[in-house]
Structures are given as structure tokens and as C-alpha cells.
A and B are shown apart, each in its own frame.
Chain A
Amino acid sequence: MVVALLSMWAFLPPSAAEAKKLNVVTATTDMAALAQEVGGDKIQVESIAKGYQDPHFVEAKPSFLLKLRNADLLIVVGLQLEIGWLPPLINQSGNPKIQVGAAGYLDASQFAEILDIPTGTVTRAMGDVHPLGNPHYWLDPDNGRRIARGIAGKLGEIDPPDTAYYQQRFQDFDQRLSAAEQKWDAAMKPYRGRKVVTYHNSLPNFAKHFGLKVIGYVEPRPGIPPTPSHTIELIGLMKRENCKIILVEPYFDLKTPQSIARDTGAIVVQYLPSVGGEKQVTGYFQLFDYDIDLLTKAFQATQ
């Protein structure tokens, strides 16, 4: 009875403000871009982290609480990506709708194909390992489609009258994404099987989709800064494997990657892991356009 009353109470505020746009807050810009694709003009969406920021180390600024307290839906990347900053923000938001497990809390990882799920014992000797799998899963367009579908379903759940609208938006997104995917796949096809090194292990889904081989990382372990001994090992590995590309996220220092590049004749590519990493990368499509353009040029240059 109490639960029934409380759940009724929980549903009251949205129906009272039905004419208003749904207020969606996301942890990262990629989730915001996907939510915007399916939410159209029925939602207002804002991301907490910026696209050029390391999503592991966002500060729990009180100004984010101002966004969260009025949110109807909070979309998180999950898999403990936001564990260092989001939980206190959710607790202090004073917003029952977005608490973990409530109707307005959506963990997008449930929809996506997740790689690098550790098997066996997980210890921090492996670095800042994510026991539930690699959280950088949005960089596979097929996952983008799955996440968008999941978000469309959730938006319909929160805002039932507009269910058909969200589904229609998703269909439209799906078609545009399929067309774009053909273009991207074609652009990357000549480079399938090429070997790359990344700074952090943030590209497994991208590499899987486009057939790249990630042979090593500049970080000796996830979240551990480069060490001289590991760097020497990596240089040896790159020379043996004839790997000529080092991919670096915009929030990492370029010093070590550049010194590796000098020793191996490789080139450093500052790719973008997230929407908004550069001004012109305003959406999910632009993100792939940007990265694939960078990569194909780099592959051509190191033929």
C-alpha cells in the first residue's frame, strides 16, 4: 500500500508538467548525442562531462547538482566508469527520480556489447581495472544503434504519449546510421588488420568493428602513467610488429607517445573518444567522421 502510494507520488510530477520537455542529463556527451537523436525536440539534454575530459576523473562539482535535481532521466555509461564522481552527485541531488534503480536512472551498458570482461580473479595489480568490462563501448556504431534503441524505449516508458515519436526517431536514426556505417566501413576496409597502439584501453569496440588490431598500450596498466621500462618494451613490440600508429585521447600528455613515435617511426594521432572533443564534432555521426578521417589519413601516411 505504502509502495503503491509512493510510486503514484513518484509519477505525479512528470504528468503535471507534461507539456514541458523531458529533462535528460547524461554522464557523457556520447550518451547525450544518442539521446538527442531519439529524443528530438521532446527532450532537453545536457551532459555532465565534457567531450575532451577524462570521463574517469570528472569532479563532483555542486553546479552539476543544479542539473541533476531537475532531471527526469539520468543516462550513465555504467560499468563503473563514473564510480569516482557520480554516486555522491546522485545522493545529494535530492531527486528521487534519478536514484539508482528508480525509473529515471538508465545504465546504457545493459544494451551494448561489452568487451574485456575480466575472467578469473580481478585485482588492482592490473591497475584501475573495470571488473564489469570495458566501459568505452560506445565507439562501435552497432552499439550506438543498440544504445539509441534502449534510450528510445526508456523515453517512451517515462513519457508514454510520445512513445511512437521516439520509436519513429529511432527508425530514422537507424536508417541514417546504417547508411553512414556503409560509408565508414568502406573507408576503413583497406586498413582491416592494421596494428595500432593506444594510450589507454579505450578502443576495443572500435577496433573490433573496423578490424584493427590493438597490440599494446602506452599505459603499463589501465590508469597507471607510463613507465620507462614499459615504454622500452612497447617500442620493441611496435618495431617487431611493424606498428606505425599511436592513438592518444585528447586528455593525455603527448610527451611519451611522441618519444615512442620518434623511436619507432610511428605517428601520433590524437583521436577523439567522445562527442564534443573538438568544436566541429557535434554529434554521434561527426565523431566517427572525424576519427575515421584522421585514421585513414594516418594509415595512408604510414603505408
Chain B
Amino acid sequence: MRNKMVCALVVCVLTFPAIAQGAPQQGAAPDSSAIEQRMRELEDRVIALEGQIRALRAAQGQPAPTPAPASGEATAQTAPAPAEPQAALARAEQGPSLGGAGGSAAKALNPDISVIGDFIGALGGNSQQNIVSLQPAPAFQMHESEVGFQSIIDPYARGDFFVSFGEEGVNLEEGYITFTALPAGFVAKAGKMRSAFGKVNTMHNHVLPWVERPLVSNNLVAGEDGIDDAGFSMQRILPAPKGIFLEATGQLFRGDAGDVFQSSRRSDVSTVAHLRAYKDISESTNLDLGVSYARGHNDMGSDFLTHLYGADATLRWKPLRRSIYHSFVARSEFIWSDRQQLPATQKSFGYYASADYQLGRRWFLGGRYDHSDRSRDHALTDKGGSVVLTYWPSEFSQLRGQYRFTRYANDIDANELFVQLIFSLGAHGAHPF
């Protein structure tokens, strides 16, 4: 790898005099203009070297670019390498091993590490939280501390781990390898991951626009963890009329997901399929539609299946010139659950509809309406609504207040107020979309 880099650097340095010679000499005074030209060349060479050093430092933990040997060798044959740049490179490479900088060279191989804290305070009564597993419950809780490790593994794959430390212990929320260099545009994942069933199911807690998840997630799609299981995933962008993004995802899991799926034997696998269509209506507005299907065995045994059908729609607006100040997202998901159990199969339905408006650079106001049957008894229907106000001191922390009203199936009401603080340490993660 070092040789390749030397070659690349040599090529880089060698090409500059060649280019400079090709440029016409201009100016009336040949002496001063020649010196000026020479100075410019030298400056360019220094900047190129600085760039190479930065690239070397950054690349130490990453695979070398594949074409480098081919082009590097080809040019090196035509022009023998002068000793000086090599020496400079050697010095540059020795650089990190000197003094305190040695540690940073070793760290170059480490994955990007981030920690996201999710602290929740709750006020108000809810006598039903034992019946319907509604998070969050206590007055104060360090609800989740999510540690992320993310890195490129090799030229063909990257790895992502999210370990969440909750109130009850440690859980591998996600841990998977993504194969990014497959032929024919396929992207494959293997490991434990949040399944592609709908929208909310794919989201980590800290990117939700609410403190908790909608009733329909709790009642029909295994609550906070959702369908989060070990298995394979395969996705591909499908051909579609111009301007439409169409993507299909197929997933095969072990078959364990909270109270929704339970695997009693190895063949009790579950499957998830998702089809997503997206279109930019204008530069600032876009529409995102999806349909999902999940099938797995439930806790009644191997002979009892649960089918889930989902449809989701998201409308986003964000004017590009004022993108950091104003935006609007409206989202809704509809989920049908078809659960085989004794004495009779339960067909339940639930949905939520939400909207979030960004008032200013730091303020977001949102609301959500919830309606969902319970999966084990479709005659029991819970309803509710929330108002949410979020404040962003910076990109790396947010403070959120949420008032939630819930009317449970047995006509018991709950009024609750939540306060949430999310704070993020370490590597800068991607913004959710």
C-alpha cells in the first residue's frame, strides 16, 4: 500500500512541471516572470504534497483505491522517480509515528463511534400502561444510550453496529454488514437489523419526531423494538418511468419479533417485503409512498401465522434557499394485522397521521393522531393524540415536550406530559430523511 502511495505521489509531483512547461511563458520581464512561475510551481507542489499527506492520514484505515496501482505503475515506467518527493513522503509517513501523534495514526483504523443519550421525564397518570405496553413509564428514566460503531470494512462492504443500553440491560439494536459492491445494483445486508416494514419501524428512537411511538406500533408491530431480527436483506432500485424512484426490499428473518412473531423451530422464519416509490414533485416538495408485507409465526405455535400489511405515505416540503429555517413533513401509516389464534383469527387495523412544521431554525411544532385495534382482540380499540414541541440548541442536542392524551378501549383516559432530552456525542451521523 505504501508503494502505491509513493507511486501516486510521484506521478502527482511529476505531472506538474510537465504541465507548467506546456503553459506559454508570458510577461515582458523574463527573469521576474520566470521566478514567479517557479514560485507558483513550488507552491502548487507544496499544496499537492499537503493534500497527499492528508489523504494518506485519512486513508490509513481505509482500503487503497483500486486504480492507483495501474495508473501509478504506468507513469512510473515512463519517468523514473526523483528521490526528493519520495523522501518527503517518507517523512510524511513517519510523521504520525512521532510523539503524541502516534496515537492518532492507530486511531485511524478505528470505526466512527457515536453515543446518543435519550433521557425522558414523564408526568401524569396512566393506569393502563401494564395492559398496553406503552413506553415510557417512570417519572425519570435514562431511556436509552445508543452506542454506534460504523466503518468501512473493505472495498466491498461496510459495517454498522448500534448497541442500546436501556433501563433493563443491553441490547444489540442493530449489527449488520452491508455489501455495497454487488453486481447489478443489488445492496445486501446480513446481521440483525430493523426490518423495512413501513417507516416508523425502521427508525431509531432518537430520529423519531415524538418521544414515543404511535399506538399502532405498540398494538400491532411489536412496540418500541418493532420487527428487529437477525437475517438477510436484499434491496434494489427498480426501473421506473423517469423521475420516479422505485425500490424493492426483500428480507428473511429468524422469526422472533417481540409479541408479533415467535419462532418455535428453525423453519419458522419470517419474511418482510417492502416496495417504495418516491417522486420529487418540485425542488422543494416530494412524495414518498410505500407498501409493506410481513409474515411470521406467532406465540400460539408453529401452525399459527400472523400477516401484517402496511401502507405509508410521506409528504415533505423544504424550500432549498431557506432549508435550515422552514420545513414541513406530513406522514401517515396504515397497518392491518391478520393474526391466527384460538378460537378465531383476529383482523385488526390501526393507523396514525402526523404533521411536523419547522417554525424557525431551532423550533419544530408537531401533532399526531392515533387509532389502533389490539392485535389479540380486534374489538378493543385505543385512540389518542399528541402535541409536540421540539427545540434544537444545536445539531447535536434537542429538547422536546409532548402532551399525550389516550382513550383506551375500556373508556379509561390518560393525560400525560413527557419531556425528552436527546444528546449526541462523537462522530457526526447522517441526518434522517
Chain A residues with a Cβ under 8 A of chain B: 6-7, 9-10, 50, 52-54, 57-63, 65-66, 69, 80, 83-85, 87-88, 90-96, 99-103, 105, 107, 109-114, 124, 127-128, 132-133, 146, 149, 153, 157-158, 167, 170-171, 174-175, 223-225, 250-253
Contacts and interface: CB of A to CB of B under 8 A. Distances in A.
Contacts of B22: 171
A96 B181 contact: yes
A247 B202 CA distance: 42
Nearest to A124: B396
A291 B22 CA distance: 31
Contacts of B316: 59
Contact of A7 (B66, B245, B324): B66
Nearest to B185: A94
Given A157-B71, A170-B19, A251-B322, A112 B47 contact: yes
Nearest to A50: B320
A52 B319 CA distance: 11
Interface stretch (B161-169, B276-284, B382-390): B276-284
14 contacts: A7-B66, A58-B323, A61-B278, A65-B247, A66-B245, A88-B430, A91-B158, A94-B182, A100-B62, A101-B63, A105-B65, A110-B51, A127-B394, A224-B394
Interface stretch (B52-60, B138-146, B224-232, B412-420): B52-60
A91 B428 contact: no
A286 B322 CA distance: 23
User: Which residue, B55, B278, B394, B430, has most C-beta atoms of chain A within 10 A?
Assistant: B430
Given A111-B48, A149-B19, A251-B321, A103 B67 contact: yes
Contacts, number: 165
A132 B178 CA distance: 27
Contacts of B243: 63
B115 interface: no
Interface in B365-391: none
B181 A110 contact: no
Nearest to B184: A94
Interface string B270-303: 0000001011100100101000000000000000
A172 to B, nearest CB: 11
Contacts of A53: 320-321, 323
A57 B324 contact: yes
B288 A103 contact: no
A251 B324 contact: yes
A146 B44 contact: yes
Contacts of A250: 321
B245 A50 contact: no
A92 B187 contact: yes
A128 B433 contact: no
B394 A63 contact: no
A95 B186 CA distance: 8
A230 B329 CA distance: 32
Given A63-B278, A110-B51, 14 more contacts: A7-B66, A52-B320, A53-B323, A54-B323, A57-B324, A91-B158, A94-B182, A101-B152, A132-B54, A133-B54, A146-B48, A170-B19, A223-B395, A252-B324
B101 to A, nearest CB: 12
Interface string B16-59: 00010011100000000000000000001001101110110011
Interface in B295-345: 316, 318, 320-325
B51 A109 contact: yes
A85 B286 CA distance: 17
Contacts of A167: 19
B3 interface: no
A109 B48 CA distance: 10
A128 B394 contact: yes
Contacts of A110: 51-52, 54-55
A50 B12 CA distance: 31
Nearest to B283: A50
B266 interface: no
User: Which residue, A10, A91, A133, has most C-beta atoms of chain B within 10 A?
Assistant: A91
Contact of B50 (A59, A62, A80, A113): A113
Nearest to B316: A59
A-B pairs with lowest CB-CB distance, top 9: A96-B181, A94-B185, A110-B51, A103-B67, A62-B245, A62-B278, A53-B320, A60-B433, A110-B55
B51 A111 contact: yes
Nearest to B325: A253
Contact of A100 (B19, B54, B152, B318): B152
A59 B433 CA distance: 7
B48 A61 contact: no
A87 B48 CA distance: 26
A175 B22 CA distance: 11
A102 B278 contact: no
Contact of A61 (B236, B280, B361): B280
Contact of B182 (A7, A62, A96, A112): A96
Contacts of A96: 156, 180-183
A60 B155 contact: no
A153 B237 contact: no
A5 to B, nearest CB: 12
A93 B65 CA distance: 18
User: Which residue, B22, B235, B236, has most C-beta atoms of chain A within 10 A?
Assistant: B22
B318 A59 contact: yes
A91 B187 contact: yes
B64 interface: yes
A62 B181 contact: no
Contact of B395 (A58, A85, A128): A128
Contacts of B394: 124, 127-128, 223-224
Nearest to B428: A83
B428 A101 contact: no
Contacts of A132: 54, 58
